[in-house]
Amino acid sequence: MAPDLNSTKDLFVFLGKSVFSVLEDMVFTLIPKPQKNVAGEIVLITGAGSGLGRLLALKFASLGSVLVLWDINKEGTEETCEMAQAAGATRVYAYTCDCSQREEVYRVADQVKREVGDVSILINNAGIVTGKNFLDCPDELIEKSFDVNFKAHLWTYKAFLPAMIANDHGHLVCISSSAGLTGVNGLADYCASKFAAFGFAEAVFAETVAQKQMGIKTTIVCPLLINTGMFEGCTTKFPSLLPVLEPEYAVRKIVDAILQEKVYLYIPRVLYFLVFLKRLPWRRLTMPIAPRPMPLQANQAGNPGMMLYFCFHFISHLPIQLVIKSSLLCLLIIF
């Protein structure tokens, strides 16, 4: 009897939070959510030597943050450093670091702690893409994709998360990809690494919630193709619906999500709907977000009763802002 009562209680807590979350989302749709002040925060950005990482550095420079720039390209990092100082940053530190090498990440992280202080906003942005079909991709390139796009996140979290927990203050930002939400033709290794990065960031977020470390925030970013040169030559079948994103626009949305402490950011917004479609029990669905359409596999739910019980029990302990997304997940599991 007790388990049934507990299940009923969890169900009502879940439904109450869901209603509150819907109302909250409606309010913040009409009224912009307040943004936090990041002046003086120590912001570490990997892959800061060019592209999206450079633009993120310039944006945080204008917000008064202390910048720690990491990149394997020394010249690129130093150039970003100069640009950030010109943009108004008073404290900028540039480090050459190969994020695919665990020991080098730990060594440079220790140097940052000594010379700058405890990192309070960690942005894992560094990434590479091979652009080859799976069987045509050499093993060493596949390993490199995982080392940079995923495993580097493990080592930076290990290096900087303990201080965030000790201070009960920090923000973990994972730059994943729409390729971390669905498989893309010709990007098997890249998709796998981005799926891993997304799942890892989400799992650590769940750990911080379960351990009531509410001062640690997480933002997981999944953009479509960004016009930074990394995906040069790629197009979408319907550019009006799924455009190749301009980097300035993507950076503005990413920084706004960080300042508003959003957990998930998919850009463009149509990705929210497409991810929903992926969960529907269709045997085959094509989505035009690559040069050629790619299949989306139907969700395999397992035991619906056990899954729903787990969802209700877990969601009753989640922050309000996640409940509406969890509600959608439960509905998808039912169907």
What residues are annotated to the active site? 190
Provide φ and ψ at 60, rounded to 5°.
-70, -25
Instruction: Please state, as a whole number, how many other Cβ atoms lie within 10 Å of the Cβ of residue 168.
Output: 11
Distance CA 173, CA 43 (A): 10
H-state helical runs in 87-123: 102-115
Q: Name the packing angle between helices 320-334 and 304-315 (round to 10°).
A: 170
Helices 320-334, 2-30: crossing angle, 10 deg rounding: 120
> Residue 60 and residue 67: Cα distance in Å, rounded?
8
Nearest CA among 70, 86, 192 for reference residue 126: 70
Measure the CA angle with vertex 272, ends 289 and 121; round to 5°: 100
Q: Which residue, 9, 37, 23, 6, is CA-closest to 320?
A: 23
CA 230 to chain centre: 18
